[in-house]
A and B are shown apart, each in its own frame.
Chain A
Amino acid sequence: QSALTQPASVSGSPGQSITISCTGTSSDVGGYEYVSWYQQHPGRAPKLIIYEVSNRPSGASNRFSGSKSGNTASLTISGLQAEDEANYYCSSYRSNSALVFGGGTKVTLV
């Protein structure tokens, strides 16, 4: 089963906004509103930051926002801060009952 497609890396300057894409198919991202996003710092467990495409769990920064169009979901981080340097993963429910993750995107501040 193929992973969802994410860019390997995205960079931005402090205070800027960046967007990470997550492309799947009509059997996963395009077919369900069950897209989530996770932030993972090195050596740590991932942390849920967006669920069901655009909802933020309690404790997640309001600088994170999610959206979806067709088979592509997106995560936008606004007002980029040093603490946002991390790896970001999307996930989606798939029609065969599996959960599938994206390959991950490393966010770097320049």
Chain B
Amino acid sequence: EMQLDESGGGLVKPGESLTISCAASGFTFTIAWLSWVRQAPGKGLEWVGRVRSKSHGGTPDYAAPVRDRFTISRDDSKNTVYLHLNSLKTEDTAVYFCTAEGYGYGYHAVDIWGRGTMVTVSS
């Protein structure tokens, strides 16, 4: 079974940093493009960013609201992708889903989803 398991969410204060992790299993991690999608309480889905597979350069893309504050990295030896959240704001409060984009079903379709981890930014 293809699976993504997030960990590391929690409560932090505005301006602080946090790193959340996502461990993958059941599929070929090295060829996957990994994306993060977040959902604020009671709100819709928002794409945060992605990291391409190494064979496609391993480069990241980010959504404008997080571009200068968040960083996505991957460790193919551990089948793990990370989201480093810096200079956190209250509006970053959300469930953060780890996902695979375009793995099995076409380009840019988010076809594997983790259960999500909650990040709360509050003083």
Contacts and interface: CB of A to CB of B under 8 A. Distances in A.
A49 to B, nearest CB: 10
Given A45-B97, A46-B45, A99-B35, A34 B114 contact: no
A52 interface: yes
Contact of A51 (B37, B64, B111): B111
Interface string A78-110: 000000000101011100011111111000000
A98 B106 contact: no
A45 B115 contact: yes
Given A55-B105, A91-B47, A38 B61 contact: no
A99 B114 contact: no
Given A45-B97, A98-B63, A51 B106 contact: yes
Nearest to B48: A99
Given A45-B115, A99-B35, A99-B101, A36 B110 contact: yes
Given A1-B63, A1-B64, A99 B50 contact: yes
A63 to B, nearest CB: 18
A18 interface: no
Interface string A31-71: 01010101010000111100110010100000000000000
B107 A101 contact: no
B104 interface: yes
Given A1-B63, A46-B113, A101-B46, A34 B107 contact: yes
A100 B106 CA distance: 16
A97 B97 CA distance: 19
A7 B111 CA distance: 24
B44 interface: yes
B109 to A, nearest CB: 4
B108 interface: yes
B108 A55 contact: no
A72 to B, nearest CB: 18
18 contacts: A1-B64, A34-B107, A36-B108, A38-B45, A45-B113, A45-B116, A46-B45, A47-B113, A48-B105, A48-B109, A51-B106, A52-B105, A57-B104, A57-B105, A87-B44, A91-B110, A101-B44, A101-B46
